[in-house]
Structure 1
């Protein structure tokens, strides 16, 4: 008797750890790119710190909303540049990258991932 096992189904794409609106095929690469950006003040990536407020992708633009832990953050420009550089590595060349710095709602430690809180001892 020859019984066939069902073919394994691909796992569904993991949801981005921030609001994402765009093509499913870009969700994981964009999330991975942003996770490679480190906030040097806390030595954690900006996704785990909770600095990414959302990503929207349309036919022309990848729009990323970011915040900082403080308006007086001395590395704002560095983080924005790193985010754009990492996104440029994974986003199709036809799409423009727009990073927007937002302050509302204000960042709070509750935005941090469980792993980031554990590392920070919170």
Structure 2
């Protein structure tokens, strides 16, 4: 998903979006690999009611890797009353925590902005036949 913010410690999303701005003191190649591995881990977590992973559904709003390789993830659910609301953050924490090189993982839930089908990737839309 192109709108996911991956930012370094102490930087806001605007700074992360600027291509010339340093994202982190982690070498760019390592940060790119780490971010790819984190996204791959997120793609192993599925919403049990929708046969698509949470990353392609657009439930991940932000991934922040700090200089100590701790990861903060901001995410949402398809609806506030989702039956797995209490469990899914733990699933995300476990999946991302299993990535080699990742330190502590903190998952924060938010409903601002609320999730909508517009956040879904084309891959998820095709898989769900929601075009």
TM-score (norm 2): 0.74
Q: Say if 1:29 and 1:90, in contact at 8 Å, map to a contact too.
A: yes
In structure 1, distance between residues paired with 2:95 and 2:2: 16
The change in CA–CA distance for 1:20 and 1:34 in structure 2 (over 3 A counts) is same
Count of residue correspondences? 107
Structure 1 spans left out of the alignment, 5+ residues:
1-14
In structure 1, distance between residues paired with 2:101 and 2:122: 32
Aligned-residue offset at 1:86: 0.7
Map 1:55-74 → 2, pairs under 5 A: 55-60=63-68, 61-74=70-83
The change in CA–CA distance for 1:118 and 1:25 in structure 2 (over 3 A counts) is closer
Bigger radius of gyration: 1
TM-score (norm 1): 0.79
Q: Are 2:92 and 1:83 aligned?
A: yes
* RMSD of aligned alpha carbons: 1.8
